[in-house]
Amino acid sequence: MGSASGVENISYDYSFKILLIGDSGVGKSSLLLSFISNSVHDISPTIGVDFKVKLLTVGGKRLKLTIWDTAGQERFGTVISSYYRGAHGIILVYDVTRRETFTNLVNMWAKEVELYSTNHECIKILVGNKVDKDGERVVNKEEGMALAQEHKCLFLECSAKTRENVQQCFNDLSLKILEVPSLREKGSGMVKKHTMRQKHIYGTTQNGGCCSQ
């Protein structure tokens, strides 16, 4: 009975916006696909901007993640600020087999994040992808950890291909977002709007928040 309703009718506690950024070919779309659909296959470069929605439970909270994916090779001018606006979490991806994708995170992507993100407490996670390509690795784990520490990011190495640490990446990020009151509050504001549309969902209200009247 309960599962008769579609995704639209599934209730959640918080709604978070997550961005994937990094150079072309590092595996942003593959990571997203691997997380969303549990399947891995070769995909084409992204054109423009795409997003996917995933519901998951972490730390006892039901979350709706809207994950935005964009083409690494495209600089999309005026759209860029709306891509970053309101993001709760940002996944900065590099390819452990291509050093330039790692250095570009510092030279280009990190600066862009600073310039455009509107939530200053927004959580970032640095992700070294393609660890399955063992013999081809050129960026070691220590370098990744050091960069993450310098930029106050979480850090993980993963493989979209074998799915190693893929779930972990989204879980760690979500847990950390939940720890920040201002982000939680913004995430529940979005839920409020949603519940007005889906008013039958919430039989119980969560008290104690600043948003309850």
Ligand X SMILES: Nc1nc2c(ncn2[C@@H]2O[C@H](COP(=O)(O)OP(=O)(O)OP(=O)(O)O)[C@@H](O)[C@H]2O)c(=O)[nH]1
- For ligand X, which is the closer residue by CB, 62 or 98? 98
Asked if residues 139 and 99 have their Cβ atoms less than 8 Å apart, the reply is yes
Which x/- pattern over 96-135 shows residues binding ligand X (rule: CB under 6 A)?
---------------------------------xx-xx--
Is residue 46 a contact point for Mg ion (CB under 5 A)? yes
- For Mg ion, which is the closer residue by CB, 42 or 142? 42
Q: What is the layout of strands, in order, in the sheet containing 123-129?
A: 49-58, 61-70, 14-21, 89-95, 123-129, 154-157
The stretch among 28-36, 110-118, 171-179, 200-208 that binds ligand X (CB under 6 A) is 28-36
- For ligand X, which is the closer residue by CB, 15 or 34? 34
Q: Which residues contact 89 (CB under 8 A, 6 or more apart)?
A: 16, 17, 18, 19, 122, 123, 124, 125, 173, 174, 176, 177
Among 15, 29, 97, 165, binds Mg ion (CB under 5 A): 29
Stretch 56-95 residues interacting with ligand X (CB under 6 A): 71-73
The stretch among 43-51, 75-83, 131-139, 144-152 that binds Mg ion (CB under 5 A) is 43-51
Residue whose C-alpha is closest to residue 154's, from 180, 125, 127: 125
3-state helix, strand, coil in the chain (%, to 5): 40, 20, 40
CA–CA gap between residue 157 and residue 176 (Å, rounded): 17
What is the size of the binding site for ligand X (CB under 6 A)? Answer: 21
For ligand X, the binding residues (CB under 6 A) are 24-30, 42-43, 45-46, 71-73, 129-130, 132-133, 159-161
- Give the residues lining the site for Mg ion (CB under 5 A): 28-29, 46
